[in-house]
Structure 1
């Protein structure tokens, strides 16, 4: 269980580096990249960060997330073990919902490479075709559908997990109900947007990875300490009976 929790921490670090490579460049101006005039909001900001990046940078940014995605599934099992003392109705759904979100996540993360490369190719070609200019927007629509479903899974799992922990039948201390994935996402967003200057720019697109790093660090530490306390309170006779 400890190793599975560490898998979540390692995956979060890999995804954090991947986010920095994908979206951690200073945003380009529409004066230099006229294609940006066609987009606004999150789409425009994401493309403005990716257009100045090299193909190699974008490729490694995507691959770091996709190739370490299975580590997140191990981390979900770690959470299930922490919730499992509760009855299945409380422990199983959060595990399945979080696992579903982490199955979708590599698609979302890896798609940023193709999205950025498409925008770069259109800009480099100097094309003014409405069909080509619409292509990055079409990519964004598909990407954000999966992204929205991922967030719905995490939000629902967070509420379920909070209820299970509050009932006091899991291995987590009750205060962990306030450190669920949804709350950690808010904290990650505050960190990514609240750090000013050159230090904050690389983190501008890393909210979810920061959230996962915080979340799995907390769950690993609390379950590690809980196991240590149980081991310390177990008498030699109890240990012998449990072995039998």
Structure 2
């Protein structure tokens, strides 16, 4: 009689394969699209920096020509223009250079600066990029100070036309009037106020910029601490004072433009060599 089959007598249950250990998740790498996007962004930044440098150089050159047209004539003597006896210092020297100039010459000298002035604001992005990756609280103030100075510059530059024309009108009128004689001086007072504010902004912003660059950790090497409006304007002043002959006379009122031409030439040369932003 067949006996019942017990569980122990049955065939062994098929073995189930042991579960393989879960592989450790690998961190996701950069998505190809992200890489391309970053490359495109860096390329656009480099192109923008190079265009800003070109804008700064061309604008400085235009202002240099404008300064030569406004103030590059040999200074007239007081015996030619008795009006000059009422002034001294920088005011007298500026008037002495503008009085012999024609109206057309003065107009073009002023317009070259006024019409190209907005390009200086675009060139100022060099100051912002120069301090990357410094914290915003440190990098933004000097950028704003320097940019504000460049925003005031076209008004100051263009005002020389009205100042010179007023002096020419007073001289040619031959009128012995205290009100007319003081008119150029009144215009000069208004003209020098934005110049004083401009220079104050440049001094503060330049010192701030130079200190941060000297500390290191910026987009500029430490030696580029000289690349600021204050230092470059001082160099421009030396160039215009020491250059002899007819060229020295032509450049006698162009210290700021010579300094800016040097400044943006330096920053453009440094940023142009970069392969990444």
Is the structural similarity TM-score above 0.5?
A: yes
User: How is 1:151-230 mapped onto 2 (pairs within 5 angstroms)?
Assistant: 151-225=199-273, 227-228=274-275, 230=276
Match of 2:134 among 60, 69, 86: 86
Aligned counterparts of 1:79 and 1:57: Cα–Cα separation in 2: 33
| Alignment partner of 1:101 is 2:149 | yes
Match of 1:26 among 74, 77, 84: 74
What's 1:121 paired with? 169
What's 1:12 paired with? 60
- CA displacement, residues 113-142 of structure 1 (integer Å, 9 cap, x when unaligned): 000000000000001100110000011111
What's 2:13 paired with? none
The range that moved more, 165-174 or 107-116, is: 165-174
- CA displacement, residues 46-67 of structure 1 (integer Å, 9 cap, x when unaligned): 0000000000000000000000
What's 1:234 paired with? none
Structure 1 residue runs without a partner (length 5+):
232-244
Aligned counterparts of 1:145 and 1:11: Cα–Cα separation in 2: 23
Aligned residue pairs total 229
Aligned counterparts of 1:90 and 1:8: Cα–Cα separation in 2: 24
Deviation at 1:82, TM superposition (A): 2.2
What's 2:8 paired with? none
Match of 1:50 among 98, 103, 122: 98
**Runs of 4 or more above 2 Å deviation:** none
Aligned counterparts of 2:138 and 2:263: Cα–Cα separation in 1: 19
What's 1:236 paired with? none
Kept in 2: contact 1:90–1:161 (CA 8 A): no
Aligned counterparts of 1:224 and 1:170: Cα–Cα separation in 2: 16
Deviation at 1:5, TM superposition (A): 1.2
- CA displacement, residues 13-40 of structure 1 (integer Å, 9 cap, x when unaligned): 0000000000000000111111111111
The structure carrying a bigger helix percent of its residues is 1
Kept in 2: contact 1:2–1:78 (CA 8 A): no
User: How is 1:142-157 mapped onto 2 (pairs within 5 angstroms)?
Assistant: 142-157=190-205
Q: TM-score, normalised by structure 2?
A: 0.81
SS at match of 1:68: helix
Aligned counterparts of 1:118 and 1:7: Cα–Cα separation in 2: 33
